[in-house]
Amino acid sequence: MSDREVSVVLPAYNEAATIERTVEVTLETLGAFLPDSSFEVIVAEDGCDDRTPEIASRIARADRRVRHVHSDERLGRGGALERAFRASDGDVLVYFDTDLATGMHHLEELIESIRTDGYDVATGSRWMPENVANRPLRRDVASRGFNALARLVLRSRLRDHQCGFKAFDRDALFALVDDVEDDHWFWDTELLVRAQRAGFGVREFPVDWEPKGETKVDLIRDVVGMGSGIVRLWWQLSARPRIDRRVTMAAGTLLVLAAVALMTVYLDPSAVVEAIAAADRRLLAAATGLYLLSWPLRGLRYRDILAELGYHERVGFLTGAVFISQTGNLVFPARAGDALRAYIVKARGGIPYTSGFASLAIERVFDLLTIATMAGVTLLALAAAGVDVTGIGATGAPEAGRESGRTAVYVAAGVGAAAICVVAIIVATARSDRNLVRPTLERISSDAYVDAVATTLEQFAADVQTIARSRRAFAVVGTASVAVWSIDVLTAIVVFAAFGVDLSPIALVAVGFFAVSVGNLAKVLPLSPGGIGLYEGAFSLLVVALTPVGWSVALAAAILDHAIKNVVTVVGGIGSTLLFNVSLTTAVEESSDVDRDGVIRD
């Protein structure tokens, strides 16, 4: 034990009217059962914009038992507490809300739970049968709902996680606090849940509680934030530890098998095989040759992106890197090939991981923007030509089929419009000095997970900024993206034509475009390696919804289209790995130790 046994922290944000009285009551209560030299009171002033800093400093100068920890910026309730605890001297660390809503006659019991009884964490509770808690209805409903969710979802044994009346053993707190991500209202809950999961002794005891003044909890922003905190903590503690590469692969495989099993309910697999056997092989060969042309364009586009970031590499090397990364996405789940490309350009080209991931982010933005823009242009062109977009090729189809066609087109149009809006916002943010991302998200929630999302989006916008601010670079990379995706669509159209379907050229182009676009959007979900199954399902659905073509031909076209593209990718990937002397398995294992910020993890 050190000379200073107990440190009490008072989190203070704009408490000018009450902080002096709170410190006085705290000193009196502590002095009633502890020697003056054995405790300290720390005012954790959290970026206040009233007279709280001035008052706290004056109190600290007048009484050596009081200290003032000042912050120029708002850290959040949890952040202010953590900062003050790190500056404290005590072996028992205590905090309670400065409104003194919890009866101060419980303070000795709180401290002695740690100091004498040997618990690692002690917390007051407003929801135990023995306590007295006079709560307004608005607070009562929100608190009971939150605590019920925390017990159910996070498997906590406690009745009340948010009571601002807690004490900690110093060693136990600092063994936990580095893993606590929230820095505001959810800080308490996360700490208590992590303490229980780590096997620390946690005591909950009833306290008398009466609210004083207006709550500083925003019942929209902060409740949503704490709700998202529950989801985030559940994912970190319960879900993520159980999800490894084998689980992901198994889940994706089962999903594909389930989709295939369901398909047999409304189509004959032998009919699909017969349709594939009857396809025109010359057109399939032409489609393969056409798709091969897109790969040098992918290398050129990647070269231009890296050049804008200050790195210059040969097109052949970069085309090989793209081949390897796309092959990795086919072989391994959860788009592991994206990290694989960053590893390749780092290991073989000396390009830092941060720049490798930034170039990937830029490439993804242009892919999304190109697909969405081409969808919009196609819809507008068809509408201008007087074509009934909601009934393309549906002559003779039943009313249900035509209705499905309308729905499919509306969904495609909605997705395209949303994608264009999102990319436009990102580009506008990148070209502007104003930070639009963080203020928008902070209006919704105050959880640390939202802060992490805001940080990621800010980094994403910064990655795009280099390209977005240069009209020449934007035009060059954009033109290459249009060429890449045009060849992708034309490949599918040639494959579709190989089945001899009776569709007009306009209908064939429109259906080919929508099927490929929605199929590739489905592949964004990392549920199966390379989106196998997802692409075919989305492609077939759009074809059947928009045309009188039956399921067997639609699925056969989807399978061949995806197979041609995957075979070209795998052959190119294998050739590139042999040329570069790279092991896919080893590269994925090593690249998995690199996070999206380019930091090597232990």
Q: Which are the catalytic amino acids?
A: 188
Q: Where are the alpha helices (DSSP H) in 155-279?
A: 170-176, 187-197, 221-234, 245-266, 269-278
- Cβ(423)–Cβ(365) below 8 Å: yes
- Cβ(331)–Cβ(312) below 8 Å: no
Residue 136 Cα distances to 26, 103, 142, 214, 583, angstroms:
26, 17, 10, 11, 64
Element holding 129 (H helix, E strand): none
CA angle 26, 32, 38 (to 5 degrees): 75
Torsion 490-492-496-498 (CA) sign = positive
Dihedrals phi, psi of 157, to nearest 5 degrees: -90, -5
Dihedrals phi, psi of 78, to nearest 5 degrees: -65, -40
Our separate counts of H helices and E strands in the chain read: 23, 7
Residue 155 Cα distances to 150, 151, 181, angstroms:
7, 5, 19
Dihedrals phi, psi of 154, to nearest 5 degrees: -95, 0
- Cβ(467)–Cβ(473) below 8 Å: yes
Q: What are 41's strand-pairing partners?
A: 8, 66
Q: What are 291's strand-pairing partners?
A: none
Collapsing DSSP to helix, strand or coil, 258 comes out as helix
Closest CA to 273 of 264, 265, 262: 264
Residue 217 Cα distances to 123, 137, 222, 233, 442, angstroms:
20, 15, 6, 20, 14
The amino acid present at 430, given as its one-letter code, is A
> Which pair of structure tokens corresponds to residue 43?
């005012």
Per-position b or e across 510-541, b if 16+ CB within 10 A of its CB:
bbbbbbbbbbbbbbeebbbbbbbbbbbbbbbb
DSSP readout, 351-415? --HHHHHHHHHHHHHHHHHHHHHHHHHHHHHHHHTT--GGGTT-TT--HHHHHHHHHHHHHHHHH
Within its chain, how far is the Cα of 447 from the centroid?
A: 13
> Which pair of structure tokens corresponds to residue 531?
């989106």
Within its chain, how far is the Cα of 444 from the centroid?
A: 15
Within its chain, how far is the Cα of 65 from the centroid?
A: 45
